[in-house]
Structure 1
Amino acid sequence: MKKILIITGGSKGIGEGIIKAYLAKEFAVFSISRTTNPHLARLGVVQTALDLTKVNEIQATFEHIFSLCGENEPQKITLINNAGTLGEIAMLNEISTTDISDAFNLNAIAPMVCSSAFINLSKHWKASKTIINITSGAALKPYFGWSVYCSSKAAINMLTQTVALEQQQVANGAKVLAIAPGVVDTDMQSQIRNTDEANFKDLQRFVALKETGALNDATTVGEEIFKMDHNSDIPSGSILRVEGKN
């Protein structure tokens, strides 16, 4: 395997769009997701079913994936921490402890653990290595009812910048980027539009994006993320955004 992609949350939505972009460029793809996708299996994607909120199981999953990569060192390997959740949309004091914990595990702790495993397992490789964290504009802008989502995505931005700083100081270090895909036409957007406006004051803005056809599509987003991954002019630690309709 000369080119490898490992991605979380690859079974649908933005993740599936990313996978298709990398498959088109002859990458071997390993997907870690709560559910699997039969169509992607037919395309040769190796899928591992794992609920990433179970963060203690991530290290063993990565060790297994790396064992499947073959004895020959690849030319390029990319990790994309894509899996994420809005969690419950409501004022913080109305959200259960379990929901807060699960959302942070998936949105922030899992990317940290995945990145740590990726760095350790590939640290002796001279391959071109990239870690891409899927962030959000919500990491920079507060939304009423999104305290958990905004906070966990803000953590992703700082994770990106700190790990980039660390990796610049070591041999064979990984490049680290955070990319916000914009507002994409996925199940997450359906969840937003079905929220009670009392819990999410910006509801009508997101409804209007759908009604006016202003949402980005997952395929285009996947292609743009691939381009950013392979753009040597983008410095490690950058926080980027896919420019689209919105």
Structure 2
Amino acid sequence: MKKILIITGGNKGIGSGIVSAYKNNSYQIISIARTLNQLDEYKEVKQIVLDLSKTEGLENAFSQILNTINKDIVERIVFINNAGTLGKIGRLETNSVSDIQNIIQLNTITPFLLTSIFLKETQNWHCPKKIINISSGAAAKPYYGWSLYCASKAAIDMMTKSVAVEQEAILNGTKIIAIYPGVVDTDMQTQIRKSSPESFVDVQRFIDLKESNFLVKINTVGQEIFGIDSLENYQNGAILNVSDYR
């Protein structure tokens, strides 16, 4: 029997930490991302190159990925919506139409679409099924200059809660949760620290977090997310923060 993890954006950042944690716990990994990770540890990871910022062809591609899996030998399957972008930092009116479209596509439309396909394609699978949405504390707290990011993540949180209600009402439903990973030492944090105070008034706080070694390493947060997934001591639709489990 196989334990399977499918993850978007598993090639770098938090995604690579998640891949490492699940791989070390005997999961077969399928990573969907725009680029490949060339490190040796990814030789056993099935990497699928797909631009998740575009809707065209996404439904067919993800359906095909799921249809290649023999459901009769799956012990457990986890799907993690991890890919995301902070987008352009600045007040909403400074964003172009394409800026707005790109961040809403990757952070909201793509996870909604992939979640829908996963639920449909695995409806008759009898193994335990789990969806984990990597959200952010920005879903619950507004930040100056992050209106698109905050709103797109808030949508993910409500989708998580609503889908949980739906899945609890049917036989063989899927468990779904959202997780706030906290401040992690990734390229996104580098982007934040390069912001001007005019576009992001809280930039100094994030600079201080880096200088004080407060940022969490990607492998650490990957292990924490795996640990939360393994606990199962929370309600379906829960919005969880890794800091509460340290």
Asked if these proteins are the same fold (TM beyond 0.5), I'd say yes
Alignment partner, residue 158 of structure 2:
158
Q: Name structure 2 gaps, 5 residues minimum.
A: none
* Aligned positions of 1:95-244 closer than 5 A: 95-243=95-243
3-state secondary structure, aligned to 2:26: coil
3-state secondary structure, aligned to 2:192: helix
- The separation in 1 between residues aligned to 2:61 and 2:41, in whole angstroms, is 18
Structure 1 residue 6, shift from structure 2 partner: 0.5
- The separation in 1 between residues aligned to 2:71 and 2:105, in whole angstroms, is 32
3-state secondary structure, aligned to 1:75: strand
- The separation in 1 between residues aligned to 2:168 and 2:241, in whole angstroms, is 22
In structure 2, what residue type is equivalent to 1:93?
A: E
* Aligned positions of 1:79-94 closer than 5 A: 79-94=79-94
- The separation in 1 between residues aligned to 2:42 and 2:139, in whole angstroms, is 36
- The separation in 1 between residues aligned to 2:46 and 2:105, in whole angstroms, is 24
Shifted more, 193-202 versus 36-45: the winner is 36-45
Structure 1 residue 183, shift from structure 2 partner: 0.3
Q: 1:42 to 1:85 in 2, by over 3 A?
A: closer
Alignment partner, residue 17 of structure 1:
17
In structure 2, what residue type is equivalent to 1:198?
A: E
Q: 1:221 to 1:42 in 2, by over 3 A?
A: closer
Please give the TM-score of this superposition, normalised by the length of structure 2.
0.96
- The separation in 1 between residues aligned to 2:197 and 2:165, in whole angstroms, is 41
Structure 1 residue 160, shift from structure 2 partner: 0.4
Alignment partner, residue 4 of structure 2:
4
User: What percent identity do the matched residue pairs reach?
Assistant: 48
Alignment partner, residue 31 of structure 1:
31
**What are the superposed Cα offsets for residues 165-190 of structure 1, whole Å, 9 maximum, x if unpaired?**
10001111111100000000000000
- The separation in 2 between residues aligned to 1:95 and 1:169, in whole angstroms, is 40
Contact kept, 8 Å, 2:5 with 2:27, in 1: the verdict is yes
Please give the TM-score of this superposition, normalised by the length of structure 1.
0.96
3-state secondary structure, aligned to 1:48: strand
Structure 1 residue 115, shift from structure 2 partner: 0.5
- The separation in 2 between residues aligned to 1:37 and 1:68, in whole angstroms, is 22
- The separation in 2 between residues aligned to 1:144 and 1:36, in whole angstroms, is 33
Alignment partner, residue 48 of structure 1:
48
Structure 1 residue 58, shift from structure 2 partner: 2.0
Structure 1 residue 228, shift from structure 2 partner: 1.3
Q: 1:77 to 1:228 in 2, by over 3 A?
A: same
The root-mean-square deviation of aligned C-alpha atoms, in Å, is 1.5
Structure 1 residue 24, shift from structure 2 partner: 0.5
Q: 1:139 to 1:214 in 2, by over 3 A?
A: same
Contact kept, 8 Å, 1:41 with 1:47, in 2: the verdict is no
Contact kept, 8 Å, 1:73 with 1:125, in 2: the verdict is no
Contact kept, 8 Å, 2:5 with 2:28, in 1: the verdict is yes
- The separation in 2 between residues aligned to 1:141 and 1:40, in whole angstroms, is 39
Contact kept, 8 Å, 2:71 with 2:125, in 1: the verdict is no
